[in-house]
Chains A and B, each alone.
Chain A
Amino acid sequence: LAKTTQPISMDSYEGQEVNITCSHNNIATNDYITWYQQFPSQGPRFIIQGYKTKVTNEVASLFIPADRKSSTLSLPRVSLSDTAVYYCLVGDMWNTGFQKLVFGTGTRLLVSP
């Protein structure tokens, strides 16, 4: 599975847009990019997944350039409740075998008033 690199931590203020970039230079053709969010003492929660270009849902956008060697999770107008750890994962999510998720250390986002 492709290794990912993310910033260890980020700080923001309420109402700002936050962009978290993930590097995955060794991404394979069949790999998808998936982001999870984790609050303290809770399990991770799926945020968004994409393969290329841009994906948007009700909570976030995912931007993937043409070479797919990086991706950016964009959180619009963050609130205090967005303070969490965000994980970028890369893998073949459509593999007919099992889907072992490989988490890195994630990015700790702190949103302040």
Chain B
Amino acid sequence: DTGVSQDPRHKITKRGQNVTFRCDPISEHNRLYWYRQTLGQGPEFLTYFQNEAQLEKSRLLSDRFSAERPKGSFSTLEIQRTEQGDSAMYLCASSRGEGSEQYFGPGTRLTVT
């Protein structure tokens, strides 16, 4: 049973560096979501793809953030010029379509020093 996978699981970077995270959704799922979770809080929506099209972005997604899903399969989330406030768990989820549950990956924990 291959669920949603994310890589890396942990990333430590220095302030100002760029980082990129990868998410591989469940293979037949056409919807892919990115969320961010800080300590003690629930996940917050960042952005959403339907196949390769990015259809919605949260205001949390500043200009330093960019997400892609080039072939409608895996997705990448890049953060440029990282700041300490970017330290969080970045979660990816996928779903089959409308009305279906979202399956979450294990997340990538980012620490910006």
Contacts and interface: CB of A to CB of B under 8 A. Distances in A.
Interface of A: 34, 41-46, 49, 85, 87, 93-96, 98-106
B98 A99 contact: yes
5 contacts: A41-B109, A44-B43, A49-B101, A99-B95, A106-B42
B106 interface: yes
Contacts, number: 61
B104 A94 contact: no
Given A43-B105, A44-B104, A103 B98 contact: no
B79 interface: no
B85 interface: no
B51 to A, nearest CB: 12
Interface string B87-113: 001011101001101111111010000
A-B pairs, 3 with minimum CB distance: A43-B104, A103-B42, A46-B101
B31 interface: yes
A100 B43 contact: no
B50 interface: yes
Contact of B41 (A96, A99, A105): A105
A37 B45 CA distance: 17
